[in-house]
């Protein structure tokens, strides 16, 4: 195995391709982007990413998933060092993405003899993109094999989801490597080729799952069942380090996460179509918010499903959200079809929402909202209209919209259930008290805060504390490892105003601090001037604990502003709520 020299990760480091031989006749070509790749919610942790391609060279040769166009030149240069293009036989495409077409076109010019291996839907996209080329395509629909010689028999397994209906995994019997593409991946860039320190990747793997796979948990469960019959010693993932050391743990986690999603009692149908990808980007951010809010999400791209699937999703959902672009002053045909199905169901008790991206006009949103209101539907949020590409602030707003929508549905369900008095255990739990604080966090242009009372000192050296944050809190997405926050500790003489303010429901994107005197701490987060004291903190670790995340942070700085004041303490009657 070739081991590259360690390279420090920096903001300005150029993109490169890491080439490593790691199994019999097998190499990885990892196209590395050290900074955030795109303004999509899945890249929000800003740890960079890798686009992994794999080369198997036996009697015949094959590569998987060449990277996007930003890597075309350096990827092909690296590939040329590994193989004579005239001896490349197959290109396996495990999912279709238009941003890879430039690389595929350049590869075809260098190796016109190659045969593409993919599902039928990917074949259709390829033939449309290369209409002037006589493509060689081997269509697989699951179960087929391809013999490259010397024991390298590739077996293809379809693993479709709503987002990637053409998804494919590839298993090599010789090396027992399962090339999983989107499954088990993470957006992390570094020199670590394998997941040797796999526990440090858990946070990024979970975030990746929540962003990309949680809305399709039932399909993920089906995929996991298919893959369970293979003897696998390594996952060749599409992004991030290869999975070798934590394979069993990550597989079990995927099964647990998917079961948890699938058995949620409240569900939302998220329907969308996207002309240029912007509405889809908004949909994925809303889906993450819905997932955080504790509801099951069925995400449906209306352009790639039959009307019967849309109808089935709507019938079983407690609420629905429709996302649409505006094309020529109208919603596209798939959205008109979905809207017609909604109206034909004649069930206006379902909570509704509308969103989308537009260029020069936004008539589609008014049309959809008007039809829904005329039918008697209650809207869960003000229609969201984003011009052109969404920004980080837009994505955060979408996440909050999704979370609030989920909370409205869950609250409605709870109100329908008979209320039970607190048990003795729950009353006893309520006697655990904590200091009242306002936790503030900032990332880029995004700033938010919440009332926190589940706070405790955790360590002396280094000075550290823990704080529990509910999964549906808007601030939660800013509390990942490396994140910064300020803990504003309140005094018992003035905590009431802050408690009333921060315990109310804020509209998505609303300024939480406009009525208070504040300053900016050294770490960029907000300090409330009227607090008793404040601590500037850096998130070190986070652990999933039921319906909360437990955040451990080290204290970097702080100040006692009212030496003679007493800390406000929160007394509860029951351990079932704050």
Is there a domain that residue 5 lies in?
Answer: no
What are 263-311's pLDDT values in tens digits? 889 999 999 999 888 999 999 999 999 999 999 999 999 988 899 999 9
Q: Which domain holds residue 489?
A: 431-570
* 105 and 191 within one domain: yes
Is there a domain that residue 246 lies in?
Answer: yes
Residue 4 has pLDDT above 70, yes or no: no
Residue 10 has pLDDT above 80, yes or no: no
Domain end residue (candidates: 416, 448, 477): 416
Is there a domain that residue 9 lies in?
Answer: no
In this structure, are residues 192 and 200 in contact, taking their beta carbons and an 8 Å threshold? no
Residue 118 has pLDDT above 90, yes or no: yes
DSSP string for 116-185: EEE-HHHHHHHHHHTTTS--EEEE--SS-EEE-STT-EEEEEE---SS-TT-EEEEETTTTEEEEETTT-
* 275 and 241 within one domain: no
CA atoms within 13 A on the CB side of 291: 27
Is there a domain that residue 10 lies in?
Answer: no
* 276 and 246 within one domain: no
* 50 and 38 within one domain: yes
How many structural domains does the chain have? 3
Classify 552 as helix, strand or coil: strand
* 459 and 343 within one domain: no
- CA-wise closest residue to 390 among 378, 380, 406, 401: 401
* 496 and 349 within one domain: no
Give the pLDDT confidence score for residue 433 in this predicted structure. Answer: 87
Q: What average pLDDT does range 500-509 have in this prediction?
A: 84
- Cα 224 to Cα 146, 245, 259, 270, 481: the distances in Å are 22, 19, 11, 23, 29
- Model-level pTM? 0.87
Give the pLDDT confidence score for residue 5 in this predicted structure. Answer: 34
Instruction: Provide the percentage of residues in the chain whose pLDDT is more than 70.
Output: 97
Q: 3-state SS string over 230-295?
A: CCCCEEEECCCCEECCCHHHHHHHHHHHHHHHHCCCCEEEEEECCCCCHHHHHHHHHHHHHHHCCC
What are 236-255's pLDDT values in tens digits? 999 999 999 999 999 999 99
* 148 and 290 within one domain: no
Residue 36 has pLDDT above 80, yes or no: no
Structure tokens belonging to residue 503? 């315990």
Residue 204 has pLDDT above 60, yes or no: yes
- Cα 447 to Cα 89, 475, 525: the distances in Å are 52, 9, 8
What phi-psi label fits residue 217: left (phi over 0), alpha (psi between -120 and 50 degrees) or beta?
Answer: alpha
Mean pLDDT of the chain: 92
Q: How does residue 37 score in pLDDT terms, banded at 50, 70 and 90?
A: low
Count other C-beta atoms under 10 Å from residue 488's C-beta: 28
Is there a domain that residue 4 lies in?
Answer: no
Domain end residue (candidates: 416, 445, 476): 416
The maximal CA–CA distance of the chain, rounded, in angstroms, is 82
Is there a domain that residue 423 lies in?
Answer: no
Structure tokens belonging to residue 166? 């053409």
* 328 and 245 within one domain: no
Query: In whole angstroms, what is the distance from residue 66 CA to residue 55 CA?
Result: 10
* 538 and 484 within one domain: yes
Query: In whole angstroms, what is the distance from residue 118 CA to residue 413 CA?
Result: 44
Q: What average pLDDT does range 59-72 have in this prediction?
A: 96
* 325 and 249 within one domain: no
Domain end residue (candidates: 228, 261, 294): 261
* Cβ burial 250-267 (10 Å sphere, 16+ → b, else e): bbebbeebbeebeebebb
CATH number of the domain where residue 256 is located: 3.60.15.10
Structure tokens belonging to residue 463? 């000075």
Q: How does residue 488 score in pLDDT terms, banded at 50, 70 and 90?
A: very high
* 474 and 361 within one domain: no
* 295 and 161 within one domain: no
Residue 360 has pLDDT above 80, yes or no: no
CATH number of the domain where residue 371 is located: 3.40.50.360
């Amino acid at each position: 195995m070739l081991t590259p020299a360690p390279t420090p990760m920096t903001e300005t480091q150029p993109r490169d391709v890491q080439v490593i031989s790691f199994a019999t006749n097998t190499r990885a070509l990892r196209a590395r982007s050290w900074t955030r790749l795109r303004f999509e919610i899945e890249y929000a942790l800003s740890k960079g990413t890798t686009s992994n391609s794999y080369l198997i060279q036996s009697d015949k040769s094959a590569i998987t998933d060449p990277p996007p166009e930003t890597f075309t030149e350096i990827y092909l240069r690296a590939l040329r060092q590994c193989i004579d293009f005239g001896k490349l036989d197959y290109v396996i495409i495990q999912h279709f993405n238009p941003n890879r077409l430039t690389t595929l076109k350049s590869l075809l010019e260098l190796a016109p003899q190659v045969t593409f291996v993919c599902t039928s839907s990917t074949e259709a996209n390829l033939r449309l993109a290369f209409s002037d080329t006589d493509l060689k395509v081997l269509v697989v629909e699951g179960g087929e094999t391809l013999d490259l010689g010397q024991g390298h028999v590739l077996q293809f397994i379809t693993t479709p989801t709503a987002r990637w209906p053409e998804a494919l995994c590839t298993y090599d019997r010789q090396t027992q490597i399962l090339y999983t593409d989107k499954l088990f991946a993470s957006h992390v860039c570094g020199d670590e080729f394998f997941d040797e320190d796999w526990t440090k990747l858990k946070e990024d793997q979970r975030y990746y799952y929540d962003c990309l796979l949680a809305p399709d948990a039932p399909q993920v469960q089906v995929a996991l069942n298919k893959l369970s019959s293979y003897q696998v010693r390594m996952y060749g993932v599409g992004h991030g380090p290869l999975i070798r050391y934590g394979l069993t743990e990550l597989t079990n986690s995927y099964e647990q996460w998917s079961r948890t999603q699938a058995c949620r009692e409240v569900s939302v149908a998220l329907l969308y179509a996207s002309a240029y990808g912007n509405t889809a980007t908004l949909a994925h951010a809303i889906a993450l918010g819905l997932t955080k809010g504790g509801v099951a999400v069925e995400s449906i791209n209306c352009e790639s499903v039959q009307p019967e699937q849309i109808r089935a999703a709507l019938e079983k959902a407690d609420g629905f959200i429709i996302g649409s672009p505006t094309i020529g002053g109208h919603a596209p045909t798939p959205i008109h079809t979905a809207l017609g199905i909604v109206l034909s169901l004649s069930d206006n008790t379902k909570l509704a929402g509308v969103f989308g991206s537009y260029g020069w006009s936004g008539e589609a949103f008014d049309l959809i909202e008007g039809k829904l209101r005329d039918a008697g539907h209650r809207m869960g949020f003000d229609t969201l209209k984003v011009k052109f590409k969404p920004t980080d602030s837009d994505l955060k707003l979408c996440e909050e919209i999704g979370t609030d929508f989920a909370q409205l549905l869950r609250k409605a369900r709870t109100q329908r259930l008979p209320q039970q008095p607190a048990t003795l255990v729950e009353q006893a739990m309520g006697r655990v008290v904590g200091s009242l604080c306002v936790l503030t966090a900032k990332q880029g242009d995004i700033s938010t805060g919440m009332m926190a009372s589940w706070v405790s000192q955790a360590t002396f050296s280094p000075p550290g504390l823990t704080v529990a944050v509910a999964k549906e809190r808007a601030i939660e997405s800013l509390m990942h490892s490396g994140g910064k926050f300020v803990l504003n500790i309140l005094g018992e003489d003035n905590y009431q105003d802050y408690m009333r303010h921060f315990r109310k429901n804020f509209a998505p994107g609303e300024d939480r601090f406009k009525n208070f005197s504040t300053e900016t701490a050294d770490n960029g987060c907000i300090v409330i001037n009227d607090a008793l004291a404040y601590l500037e903190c850096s998130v070190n670790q986070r652990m999933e604990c039921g319906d909360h995340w437990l955040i451990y942070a080290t204290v970097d700085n702080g100040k006692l502003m009212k030496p003679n004041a007493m800390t406000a303490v929160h007394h509860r009657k029951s351990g079932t709520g704050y």
